[in-house]
Chain A
Amino acid sequence: MKMSQNNSDKDASNNKTISLPISRVRLIMKSSPDVSSINQDALFLTTKATELFVQHLALSSFNNGSGKDNNTLSYSDLASTAEETEIFHFLTDILPKKILARDYLKSLEQMQEEEADN
């Protein structure tokens, strides 16, 4: 396994190591009522796939959002990506966009005014 920093970025997807606890992944898989026993390989693959997904989401959100600007991944980047990128649409309920209560109340007032006018 290569030890240099540059190569480890490329190898991250290809190596056989995983960062997530297998026992926890098994617990989550078993929480689905249709699942009884889980093959060891299937468990490993699911764990690895989850890890790759997290990488994909993080990187997509980073590139999609502030990215080059302030070198920071923020929640709003994730929420935007969930809304704008089709493959992440299933996350829109989990990662909703945030609005200041003040702005929400303002738009609510505008709505009420429009209704009053009609």
Chain B
Amino acid sequence: MDGDSSTTDASQLGITGEYMASGHYVLQSQDDDGEESLNDHEDGGIKENFREQDIYLPIANVARIMKNAVPQTGKAMKGEKGMPGVSVGESLGEELTDDSFTNPLPAGIITADGQQQNVMVYTTSYQQIPAVQQIQFS
């Protein structure tokens, strides 16, 4: 599943390397052109694009399961139902104050003490601020 383009590299195949040694080649349906987009990863080579609602479990069902799992909650916020990248500002009402920052920035930052901390940077409004967009993560 790596992006490595050599489909016949025996080391990637693990146990099937034994078969490779004899010179016979195994047909691979996977298209190893190095692309790791979600769609390619999903269907293993057939260029079919799935919509988000097709590849994830229905949020209503998941919400119901979560709600029933948790003892008597008052509310479950919309953003937590396991969908990555959702809830810009939706589930964080109490933390948002002023600000004119933009859409979520890429995840993963290096904090002051040098440790890489996996975070998702989010903002509180939808105005565009080019300076913020240009910040590079080193």
Contact = CB atoms under 8 A, between A and B. Distances in A.
Interface of A: 9, 12, 19-21, 24-25, 27-28, 31-33, 50-51, 54-59, 62, 70-78, 83, 92-102, 104-105, 107-108, 110-111, 114
Interface stretch (B4-12, B18-26, B107-115): B107-115
B29 interface: yes
Interface of B: 1, 29-30, 41-45, 54-55, 57-58, 61-62, 64-66, 68-77, 79-80, 82, 84, 87, 91-92, 95, 99, 101-102, 105, 107-112, 117-124, 132, 135
Nearest to A77: B80
A102 B125 CA distance: 12
21 contacts: A20-B61, A20-B62, A21-B61, A31-B43, A33-B29, A55-B65, A58-B65, A62-B70, A62-B73, A73-B80, A74-B80, A75-B80, A75-B87, A93-B107, A97-B120, A98-B92, A98-B120, A100-B95, A101-B122, A104-B119, A108-B109
A96 B80 contact: no
